[in-house]
Amino acid sequence: MNQTTVWLVEDETSISEALAYVMQLEGFTVRTFERGLPALDAARQALPDLVVLDVGLPDISGFELCRQLLAAYPALPVLFLTARSEEVDKLIGLEIGADDYVAKPFSPREVCARVRTILRRLQKQQSGAQTVVRAGRFELNDDAAQIAFCDQPLPLTRYEYLLLKTLLLAPGRVYSRQQLMDRVWGDANDSFDRTVDTHIKTLRAKLRAVNPEASPINTHRGLGYSLAVN
């Protein structure tokens, strides 16, 4: 059976070695990078199953590296490591498409557990694929992981796609933030307190870029969000 391959992009040798050691003990195949640009180059040859990425790299911001990786490989799972614990940094990482966020100091086994959670969540999402769905001005093509609005494909991150898909499959239904977190992010933790609102904001901006008059995502104060498809 093929092992799960994880890339660890971390410039602090002590952290990288400790984390790689524990991950290998738990059955992962690990490739380490001390800088971000070599990882970006390596991704053009072959992709891992998941990237564990430090925010504070010496040659490129971890956020920028994540943006470039996900622009080229939208389905690539990313877990951020960082010494920054401020809420704004968590939201930046999650907004650009990362799957989770672990603040230093951390236990290597905690990181392994987060990695397994992300991979389980993605496997569950992939097994629940649906056919093409048309609803009003929207068209969902799940095989291509693509949603079009007013006949224009939307440039969505993985979690923007999954969030809009959830709303689209039940037009008019009001989902609470917790329901959306459970359906889209699965085993959500404290890092996700405000990420639903952040993703709704970016979705609205992308919908307005297609049709400035459109406002299909409705806010129900104290309740949550719904989607109007007509």
**212 CB contacts (<8 Å, ≥6 apart)?**
none
Residue pLDDT tens, the chain, 230 long: 457 899 999 999 999 999 999 999 999 999 999 999 999 999 988 889 999 999 889 999 999 999 899 888 877 899 999 876 555 566 666 777 788 888 888 899 999 999 998 888 877 666 655 567 888 899 998 888 899 999 999 999 888 999 999 999 888 888 888 888 888 887 655 555 578 888 999 999 999 999 998 899 999 998 899 999 87
Stated pTM of the model: 0.64
Q: Domains in the chain, start-ordered, CATH in brackets? A: 5-126 (3.40.50.2300), 129-227 (1.10.10.10)
Alpha helices in 128-227 (DSSP H): 158-168, 177-180, 195-210
Instruction: Give the separation between CA 26 and CA 12, rounded to whole angstroms.
Output: 21
